[in-house]
């Protein structure tokens, strides 16, 4: 393994490497040999199979439901309806956003694909066949599909289940100083405004969602295997919702084939599997198919943003202001910290030193699938970055300035960190200009601009797009952030066995990020035990300490901090044991990676393995030191981490067809201390590919009646190797000053930073046509329309 070395003073240790090594992933032998163990691989004795009947329409009263024929179908053991759940008080479940969501429809269907009934049968085929035998009568209502119409007087009220509701407004939320911002706008030389839409997209992980519920009626224990990114939080929620005592619930999250935020919430299917198991007394498996995943599980984005930016004529950006309409679908099931109804959208001030900022967000119900999940996005930072990076480009065009120069002119300066922005965030550390300059150098920016000019003269459409982003990841300090009352901290437990091999138990849950490797590397770095001698245990609530889970790129910032600290706790304890073994005082010992030795006599020392044996051996231990080399911590981070990056995209647009080719993409990321540079590159490559998908082809669309038009991979396009270039990645290192090893998150950076770079490049290419903005997805048809002067919202 090769380490990237450089002085890293901010991590509190001048000699610390900035990269712990390109260690091959410990989990890959099982994945590449097809030996991964995913949810659908779980087979329990006597296991039954569940299938969900879904509503074919978007808005309708449920008049009647007849299950007789379905129940008579061979192999069927139970058909559960909303009425049955009502009797158990389980028809409605709380969402992650203080709303409730129907587990099965009792009164009214509120989106196409909503759960209506659940069949439990001996096999998946019988269960699915029986769905067709259920007879449902609906009384149709006009649906509310366009969020812009949701607050019209007379619009049908979607949530008439909530007492006293007369409209579709969920919340109004604002941040920043409206009056101060207004004053800055009023006196600015230049103001530009633009409506920017981030369309509804879907995380679409390779593995769909599913659960296997195994309720043991004798001792009242529920074992629930689930595709979940947050097993501990789920356990607590099931205890609250289903009334099963928490110590009787075990959640196991096996290998997961991609989460991307899609597996944060609790879906009706999970609860139905539990009910099915309680009703039949047997384990019940439910696994959704691709259409169910795309049509009913959490979508992402769906923000209509009115952006405004104010500047001097010399190009000093003064203020940003925005008014957002947020479409949350039929139930407010958005996954985000309780106090943040618009997530971390308030980071829309970007990477710039502003005088003022203000934003207002209005959330509305529509007859669409619920969710609003942070798909590769720390709670709406993706929307925020897209807005500000489009606005800065539009301003550059207006001022006839180069977009990279305009950004360089307005960055927060290194000496301004920690930087308090105008909406209440304190950016921990940053050094933006070197990252921007490095990306420009890697791209050959000047040459690209020259090439573009020459091509323009020949009528060829080449575009260069720049974006610069700052993220807010690692929620969070528990005093500020909680999910349904659970503070956002994470635990870690470390045991060093007598022979010096170690097991670290963590509360976060990998979905492919490589935690079994990187968390072992953190312990290895702190204790000098080789990473291959450290096992990382995760994903089973009976085996791991409590914590809030993996999303919002929080594992490294929060759980990674916990793991570094628990290893240091073991190291501190080892000092006392080593002193006892060496018959000296702890303060006379000095640490070098892997061992404590006597100051001035390096030959007298004990390695961690020797100390571990000593801890479990016969030497008399000092008062207060018990006989093991174990420790545990719960880490509550003092702040979030603020990774950043500079991206440059080069596109060629076919003037005849509007087809966009992403020819080059340069990504310079700064995530502080880099644990595993190879894993980081993989994370960035994946996120950049996500970005190409959203910029060019992905959208969950609906017709006027609320039919979902994107219910399969034939209609919901995702990028393949054909649509992406060879990524060119680079990095700078600005450690987090408060994180134990100086690391910031990286998992979502590229998904956040790439869509604006691509769209900026496309709009740049279309300059000869007078196009100043177009909304995603930039499909050939929409690009061609924009060239005809007919750009329209998606």
Instruction: Point out which residues bind ligand PCD (CB under 6 A).
Output: 205, 229, 258-261, 374-377, 511-515, 518, 550-556, 671-676, 679-680, 683, 686, 743-748
Residue 50 vs 747, nearer CB to ligand PCD: 747
CB of 116 to ligand PCD, least distance (A): 28
Residue 185 vs 375, nearer CB to ligand PCD: 375
- The separation between the first and the last C-alpha atoms of the chain, rounded to the nearest angstrom, is 47
Residue 113 vs 735, nearer CB to ligand PCD: 735
Residue 175 vs 679, nearer CB to ligand PCD: 679
How many Cα neighbours within 13 Å face the side chain of 585? 2
Residue 223 vs 729, nearer CB to ligand PCD: 729
Residue 50 vs 259, nearer CB to ligand PCD: 259
CB of 325 to ligand PCD, least distance (A): 22
C-alpha span between 150 and 367 (Å, rounded): 10
Where on the phi/psi map is residue 433: left (φ > 0), alpha (ψ -120 to 50), or beta?
alpha
Tokens for 723? 């649509």
Beta strands at 48-54 and 629-635: parallel, antiparallel or unpaired: unpaired
* Sheet of 76-81, strand order: 76-81, 115-121, 48-54, 284-287, 210-216, 221-226, 249-252
Cα angle for residues 692, 641, 573 (degrees, 5° grid): 130
CB of 176 to ligand PCD, least distance (A): 25
Residue 207 vs 292, nearer CB to ligand PCD: 207
How many Cα neighbours within 13 Å face the side chain of 185? 17
Cα–Cα distances in angstroms (integers) from residue 15 to residues 8, 21, 379, 384, 672, in the given order: 7, 15, 35, 37, 15
Within 8 A by CB and 6+ apart from 83, the residues are 65, 106
Contact 406, 396 (CB under 8 A): yes
Cα–Cα distances in angstroms (integers) from residue 143 to residues 151, 333, 559, in the given order: 13, 19, 44
C-alpha span between 178 and 357 (Å, rounded): 8
CB of 257 to ligand PCD, least distance (A): 8
CB of 406 to ligand PCD, least distance (A): 29
C-alpha span between 221 and 213 (Å, rounded): 11
3-class secondary structure, 761: helix
C-alpha span between 119 and 129 (Å, rounded): 10
CB of 643 to ligand PCD, least distance (A): 8
Cβ atoms within 10 A of the Cβ of 149, count? Answer: 12
CB of 743 to ligand PCD, least distance (A): 4
Residue 605 vs 747, nearer CB to ligand PCD: 747
Tokens for 530? 């080789």
Residue 108 vs 674, nearer CB to ligand PCD: 674
Contact 140, 59 (CB under 8 A): yes
Residue 27 vs 308, nearer CB to ligand PCD: 27
CB of 467 to ligand PCD, least distance (A): 19
CB of 734 to ligand PCD, least distance (A): 11
CB of 299 to ligand PCD, least distance (A): 12
**Interior/surface letters 737-755, b for 16+ CB within 10 angstroms, e for the rest:** bbbbbbbbbbbbbbbbbbb
CB of 514 to ligand PCD, least distance (A): 4
Residue 282 vs 505, nearer CB to ligand PCD: 505
């Amino acid at each position: 393994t090769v380490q990237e070395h450089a002085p890293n003073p901010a991590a509190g240790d001048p000699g610390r490497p900035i990269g712990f090594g390109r260690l091959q992933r410990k989990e890959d032998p099982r994945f590449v040999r097809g030996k991964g163990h995913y949810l659908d691989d779980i087979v329990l004795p006597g296991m039954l199979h569940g299938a969900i009947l879904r509503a074919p329409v978007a808005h309708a009263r449920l008049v009647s439901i007849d299950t007789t024929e379905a129940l008579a179908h061979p192999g069927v053991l139970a058909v559960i309806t909303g009425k049955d759940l009502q009797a158990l008080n389980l028809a409605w479940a709380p969402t992650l956003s203080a709303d409730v969501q129907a587990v099965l429809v009792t009164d009214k269907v509120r989106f196409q694909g909503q759960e209506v009934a659940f069949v439990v049968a001996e096999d998946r085929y019988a269960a699915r066949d029986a769905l067709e035998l259920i007879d449902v009568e609906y009384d149709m209502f006009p649906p509310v599909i366009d969020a812009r119409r949701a607050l019209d007087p007379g619009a049908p009220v979607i949530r008439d289940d909530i007492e006293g509701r007369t409209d579709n407004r969920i919340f109004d939320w604002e941040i920043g100083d409206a009056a101060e911002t207004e004053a800055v706008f009023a006196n600015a030389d230049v103001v530009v405004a633009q409506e920017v839409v981030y369309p509804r997209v879907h995380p679409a992980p390779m593995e769909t969602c599913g659960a296997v519920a195994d309720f043991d009626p004798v001792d009242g224990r529920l074992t629930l295997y689930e595709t979940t990114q947050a097993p501990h939080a789920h356990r607590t929620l099931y205890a609250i919702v289903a009334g099963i005592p928490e110590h009787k619930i075990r959640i196991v999250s096996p290998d997961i084939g991609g989460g991307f935020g899609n597996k944060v919430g609790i879906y009706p299917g999970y609860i139905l599997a539990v009910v099915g198991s309680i009703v039949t007394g047997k384990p019940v498996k439910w696994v959704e198919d691709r259409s169910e995943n795309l049509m009913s599980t959490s979508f992402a984005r769906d923000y209509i943003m009115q952006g405004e930016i104010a500047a001097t004529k010399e190009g000093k950006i003064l203020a940003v202001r925005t008014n957002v309409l947020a479409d949350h679908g039929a139930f407010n099931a958005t996954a985000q910290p309780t106090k943040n109804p618009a997530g971390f959208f308030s980071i829309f001030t970007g990477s710039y030193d502003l005088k003022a900022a203000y934003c207002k967000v209005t959330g509305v119900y529509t007859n669409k699938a619920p969710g609003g999940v942070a798909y590769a996005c720390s709670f709406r930072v993706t929307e925020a970055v897209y807005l500000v990076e489009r606005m800065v480009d539009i301003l550059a065009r207006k001022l006839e300035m180069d977009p990279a120069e305009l950004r360089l002119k307005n960055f927060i300066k290194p000496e301004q960190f920690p930087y308090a922005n105008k909406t209440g965030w304190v950016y921990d550390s940053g050094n933006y200009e070197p990252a921007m300059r490095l990306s420009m150098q890697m791209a050959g920016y000047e040459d690209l601009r020259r090439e573009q000019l020459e091509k323009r003269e020949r009528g060829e459409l080449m575009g260069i797009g720049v974006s610069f982003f700052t993220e807010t990841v690692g929620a969070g300090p528990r005093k500020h952030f909680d999910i349904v009352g659970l503070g956002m901290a994470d635990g870690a437990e470390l045991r060093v066995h007598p022979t010096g091999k170690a097991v670290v138990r963590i509360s976060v849950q990998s979905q492919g990020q490589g935690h079994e490797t990187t968390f072992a590397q953190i312990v290895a770095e702190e204790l000098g035990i080789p990473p291959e001698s450290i096992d990382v245990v995760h994903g089973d609530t009976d085996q791991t300490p409590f914590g809030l889970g993996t999303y919002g790129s929080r594992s490294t910032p929060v759980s990674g901090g916990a793991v570094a600290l628990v290893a240091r706790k073991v190291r501190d304890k080892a000092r006392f044991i080593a002193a006892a073994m060496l018959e000296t005082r702890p303060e006379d010992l000095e640490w070098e990676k892997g061992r404590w030795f006597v100051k001035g006599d390096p030959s007298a020392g004990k390695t961690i393995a020797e100390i571990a044996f000593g801890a479990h051996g016969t030497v008399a231990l000092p008062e207060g030191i018990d006989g093991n080399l174990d420790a545990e911590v719960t880490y509550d981070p003092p702040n979030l981490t603020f990774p950043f990056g500079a991206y440059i995209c080069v596109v060629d647009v076919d003037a005849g067809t509007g087809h966009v080719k992403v020819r080059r993409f340069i990504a310079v990321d700064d995530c502080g201390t880099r644990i595993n540079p190879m894993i980081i590159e993989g994370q960035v490559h994946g996120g950049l590919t996500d970005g190409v998908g959203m910029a060019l082809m992905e959208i969950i669309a609906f017709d006027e009646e609320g039919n979902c038009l994107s219910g399969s991979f034939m209609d919901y396009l995702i990028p393949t190797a054909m649509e992406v270039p060879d990524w060119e990645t680079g990095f700078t290192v600005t450690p987090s000053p408060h994180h134990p090893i100086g690391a910031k998150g990286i998992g979502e950076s590229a998904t956040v930073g790439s869509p604006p770079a691509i769209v900026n490049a496309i709009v740049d290419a279309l300059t000869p046509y007078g196009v100043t903005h177009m909304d995603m997805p930039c499909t050939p048809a929409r690009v061609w329309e924009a060239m005809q002067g007919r750009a329209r919202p998606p």
